[in-house]
Amino acid sequence: MEILITNDDGIYSEGIYALATSLRKMGNITVVAPDTQRSAVGHAITIADPLRVVTANRNGKFFGYAASGTPADCVKLGIKSIMKKRPDLVVSGINLGGNQGYNILYSGTVSGATEGALLGIPSLAISLDTFTKPDFSAAAAFSVKLAGMVKKRRLPPGTLLNVNLPNLPAARIKGVRVTNQSRTSFNDWFDKRRDPHGNTYYWMTGDFKPKDADRASDLNALRGGYVSVTPIQFDLTDYKFVPELENWELKL
C-alpha cells in the first residue's frame, strides 16, 4: 500500500510519529504535514499565498515533508505534487484531543482525511481523547488494523472514517463501536483583555461538558470506554427539509 500521512498538530508532534512508525508495516509511507501546529483550521486551504515545503528529519533520519499550509493543503500537495504514485490510503493523526460531534467541523485532523476522501482516496482521521499524558499505542495499532480492513472491504466513495480512542492501553479499552456524530460542541466564549498599551483584545476560550442521550453517538462510546468509529460524508443537503422549503414558494 502507498499511504499518505498528515495531521494538524504539526510534523514534529509525537502523534504523527507514532502513527507513521506503525503504518510502515502496511507499505510505503509518505508524511506531508504542517510545519507547525494548525489546530482548528477547519477545511481551510491556502490560495492567496505560496506554500513552502522542506524535508523534515526525526531522530537524525528523513521523516517527511513539512509544509507551510493546512492539513488540507498538505494532502493536496502530497497527492498532486510530492508522491510519485497516487496513495491507496490517507491517514490523518494521531491528534491530541477528541474530534466528536460538531467539533469535527473545526478539526484540522478530520479535514486532512476529508481532503483525501474528496480526492477519491479511502481516508481515516485518528484522534486520542486527551490533551495530556497521551498513550498512542492503542491508536497506532488500531490504525494498522483499520488500514488492512479498509483495503479488504473498501469504503464508499466520498466517505471517511472518523476514529476516536480513549486514552488507555488497548487492554483497558472495552471495544470498538460504530457510532454517529453527536449533536454536541464546545461551549466557547471570549476573554476580553487589555494589552500593555491599553488596547482591547479578545481571546477565545471554552469548555466541553456536553450531554448527549444518544447511546449510539461518538461521545457516549468514548465516555463508556470504547473506541468510536463514525463514517462521515460531505453531502450536507438537509433532504428532510427540502419538501417543506419547496412549499415556501420562493420568488425573486
Among 25, 86, 170, 215, binds a second copy (CB under 8 A): 170
Among 63, 142, 147, 210, binds a second copy (CB under 8 A): 142
Q: Least separation, in Å, of the C-beta of 150 and a second copy?
A: 9
Helix, strand or coil, per DSSP, at residue 37: coil
Contacts of 53 (CB under 8 A, 6+ apart): 32, 65, 66, 67, 68, 77, 82
- The closest of 111, 8, 104, 12 to 56, measured between CA atoms, is 12
- The closest of 121, 165, 174 to 139, measured between CA atoms, is 165
Among 43, 109, 113, 147, binds a second copy (CB under 8 A): 43
Among 114, 143, 164, 220, binds a second copy (CB under 8 A): 114
Q: Count interface residues toward a second copy (CB under 8 A).
A: 81
Q: Least separation, in Å, of the C-beta of 196 and a second copy?
A: 13
Nearer to a second copy, 20 or 232 (CB): 232
Nearer to a second copy, 24 or 154 (CB): 154
The reply on whether position 19 binds a second copy by CB under 8 A is no
Q: Segment 63-82, which members bind a second copy (CB under 8 A)?
A: 72-73, 76-77, 80-81
Give dist(CA 90, CA 82) in Å, integer. 14
- The closest of 121, 118, 122 to 143, measured between CA atoms, is 122
Contacts of 45 (CB under 8 A, 6+ apart): 69, 70, 72, 73, 76
Nearer to a second copy, 59 or 122 (CB): 122
The reply on whether position 156 binds a second copy by CB under 8 A is yes
Q: Least separation, in Å, of the C-beta of 59 and a second copy?
A: 26
Judge residue 92's burial from the number of C-beta atoms within 10 Å of its C-beta, 0-12 exposed, 13-18 middle, 19 or more buried. Answer: buried
The reply on whether position 144 binds a second copy by CB under 8 A is no
Q: Are 125 and 243 in contact (CB under 8 A)?
A: no
Q: Are 70 and 44 in contact (CB under 8 A)?
A: yes
Q: Segment 182-201, which members bind a second copy (CB under 8 A)?
A: 183, 185, 188-190, 192-193, 199-201
Q: Least separation, in Å, of the C-beta of 69 and a second copy?
A: 9
